Structure 1
């Protein structure tokens, strides 16, 4: 690795600006990959971490960034799924690890084979973006809302459970619609009327135009909801969501905080 040089966007402290400067090239450990980054999906949560809005317990200076795509340049012991030269996308979980070696905002970053997938000839940029959206949607639906995972044979009882997804035509919301529908849930998608066909094609069984004057009444009539996800919403939208939640009683609710 002596012939290669690494540069990273270091975050020196909470509230500080990123500083572009050298970083060591890390040796991959067991089940780990060293990846030359080609595209990084920068998430809103990352500038909030930088500003201190999201108080992650990080050791500074650090390198943030989760989802990125690139080429495998070295593999650690136990790696069986990847070889040097593979084009891949990954979620390194660097911020959650509090480990700058896994931060995406550098030329050479570590990740694990468990959180990495081959992308073939697909675009690095599109792959990184997709990984970011899937990470957020799966985290919201499975970890926070406690929904079932998609499977080849979804639980038939899920069909009677309605999942309301606000902002269903956004990149985050579109991924959430597909995941929830694949797990057998009945999805009610909310977006602008021009995106009705798109949302229905993703697997939503019902659609409500968020700009319609009767949207609140329509959503209440379609309930009750097993879970509600606000994937993309304005301050006005949040008022409507609050009215729907109040009318329906208890429901699992998750707001996209990033």
Structure 2
């Protein structure tokens, strides 16, 4: 029985599908039979723009769901046949951990069991950005978690999430509003109702001319926290000016600057892989809460609302097409594929 993988042979080259060996998991690892790949926008930048140094040939991809095929000798918490979703830790690059293949090794602790009645595609589409949302707001910034047993008391703090229809943005709106914070966000008119139903206090049309967007956002402020869930040069220009207008300093971004950005004096752009705080020892309990409680219960209870999912046909041979879609830009949806097609 062979493995099959979509492999990038060199920087910025198209991916090629090849048969490769199936891996043996290490003592603390799992081998997963991959059944759904969830694509993240940063992956087209890694594949097509070469923004991250890699050792080629490389197998990309960070988020997937499937069944436990084999367990390492020291693994005690998982059984063969269990359904799980996985989000790979940022910076892990060995090919056995890449999601763009049929059999994947899990080399870290970001693994969540999936109830039998839940479509694997749903938690797979949520896993990466959900862990980043919790890592940023609670793990790094110390904000309260939402309650899964009812509404939280209203809080005075007001938070701006620019890009409420993105995956990170939509999950942020839900997480913060369910914890009692006032959330102001932006969206195109097409997705405005969806974002509003997630709990946002105000949804501002981000297709307006830049000065009008800034004015509309500023009127709802000042903000205790400003997060740019898109973090492209044109959105950073808007959110930075909002901060300047209220005398703020820190602008939280969801991806690094991939090109020149003009930041006003006094504004610092803050970025790290936001799931990283969950790996810190002091946040171990928070990590366990995310993967054991918040994700599975949030889906089952309907308190976590996923973006609509679009399946791209072709399996591993369709990965190049999917990366093209991501490069052109997608809004209000998550792309997945079945590696066995």
TM-score by length of 2: 0.63
C-alpha contact 2:157 2:182 (8 A) present in aligned 1: yes
Gap runs ≥5 in structure 1: none
Gap change, CA 1:183 and 1:114, over 3 Å in 2: farther
- 2:182 maps to 186
Q: How far is the alpha carbon of 1:33 from its aligned partner? A: 1.1
Gap change, CA 1:142 and 1:66, over 3 Å in 2: farther
The answer to whether the aligner puts 1:20 opposite 2:39 as a matched pair is: no
The answer to whether the aligner puts 1:40 opposite 2:37 as a matched pair is: yes
Q: How far is the alpha carbon of 1:160 from its aligned partner? A: 2.9
CA–CA distance in structure 1, aligned partners of residues 205 and 142 of structure 2:
25
CA–CA distance in structure 2, aligned partners of residues 255 and 64 of structure 1:
23
Q: What is the root-mean-square deviation of aligned Cα atoms in Å? A: 3.1
Q: How far is the alpha carbon of 1:108 from its aligned partner? A: 0.5
CA–CA distance in structure 2, aligned partners of residues 252 and 182 of structure 1:
24
Pick from 220, 223, 227 the counterpart of residue 222 of structure 1: 220
Gap change, CA 1:68 and 1:247, over 3 Å in 2: same
Q: How far is the alpha carbon of 1:245 from its aligned partner? A: 1.8
The answer to whether the aligner puts 1:110 opposite 2:98 as a matched pair is: no
Q: How far is the alpha carbon of 1:157 from its aligned partner? A: 11
CA–CA distance in structure 1, aligned partners of residues 16 and 144 of structure 2:
40
Gap change, CA 1:78 and 1:199, over 3 Å in 2: same
Gap change, CA 1:215 and 1:55, over 3 Å in 2: closer
Question: Aligned pair count?
Answer: 250
Gap change, CA 1:184 and 1:239, over 3 Å in 2: same
C-alpha contact 2:97 2:107 (8 A) present in aligned 1: no
State the structure with bigger RCO (CA 8 A, min sep 6), 1 or 2.
Answer: 2
Pick from 237, 240, 243 the counterpart of residue 242 of structure 1: 240
- 2:161 maps to 165
Gap change, CA 1:77 and 1:159, over 3 Å in 2: farther
